[in-house]
Amino acid sequence: MSIKYFSEDIVFPKLKRRKTSGWINSVIHSEGKYSGDISFVFCSDAYLLEINKEFLMHDYYTDIVTFDYVVGDLISGDIFISIERIVENSIEFQTTFENELSRVLVHGVLHLIGYKDKNENDKLLMTEKENYYIKVLIDS
């Protein structure tokens, strides 16, 4: 089982791959699940917009699209992340690029684990989990 990182139509962002992969694995195991194959694909807004339109029938920009290939407790999927959106969000939320990227990485993994964010209660729980696991990353 592995975590892989790819880029489409952008320069690959600075990322400590080994540390990030270890962190993602620890999130999965902390939630009582097992790590399968996960691919993170970093891309532009335009690239992610096309994925959003083609596969989800959504005609709007987003920071992340997650494709879930989970089987039972084995967490697998493809997670597409717009680096342009991460930069804009980091400015809007007055945080660092690294912090915002970490938030979106774990957000995608939490979706694979089964967390939702469609209603207010789900969003609150998702944000609580993101904050907790970002603190774990910072403290490691």
Q: pLDDT tens digits, residue range 58-102? A: 999 999 999 999 999 999 999 999 999 999 999 999 999 999 999
> Considering the entire predicted model, what is its pTM?
0.95
The better pLDDT of the pair 15, 124 is held by 124
Average pLDDT, the chain: 96
Mean pLDDT to the nearest integer, 5-13:
90
Comparing 13 with 83, which gets the higher pLDDT? 83
From 3.30.390.50, 3.40.390.30, 3.40.50.360, 3.90.120.10, which CATH number describes the 3-139 domain? 3.40.390.30
Say what the pLDDT of residue 27 is: 98
Query: How many Å apart are CA 19 and CA 11, to the nearest integer?
Result: 20
